[in-house]
Amino acid sequence: MAHYILIDNHSGYIFADTRDLPGYSDSDHGPADAARLLEAQLKEGESDWSERGFFSRPASNEDGYFVFRIDNDGSEAVPVVRDGQDKDTIEAVERSCRPWCFLARVERDPA
């Protein structure tokens, strides 16, 4: 199963490492599933998520996550993230993991 790290567009902090995200490893999930599980864990409601190319840079005020795939050639590029605000950890993820996509929040139609 692929594992991902989600870095928040606003803060630049790591918000989720799917290896340590409750409910993620129970089945084969993707990055959007990780964002939904993270929202449920943080009790922030539920949004829809749109995956787009990693290099289509979002607006600085856009809600979303930069997604990095942790595994490279069958091995994990970084250990499980314990401190999502640690600068060295964030730099290690950005340097060692594969850029995967940008997850943009899509507001649900209230109707």
Hey, where are the domains in the chain?
19-59+96-103
Residue type, 83: D
Which pTM was predicted? 0.80
> Counting beta carbons within 10 angstroms of the beta carbon of residue 38, is it exposed (0 to 12), middle (13 to 18) or buried (19 or more)?
buried
Residues 41 and 39: their CA atoms lie apart, in Å, by 5
On the question of pLDDT at 110 being above 60, the answer is: no
pLDDT band at 104 (very low <50, low <70, confident <90, very high): confident
In the prediction, which pLDDT does 70 show?
A: 87
Give the tens place of pLDDT for each residue, 6-62. 999 889 999 989 888 888 875 577 888 888 888 777 766 666 666 666 556 666 677
Instruction: Identify the pLDDT of residue 10.
Output: 87
Backbone torsions φ then ψ of 66, nearest 5 degrees: -80, 130
The phi, psi pair for 92, rounded to 5°, reads -65, -40
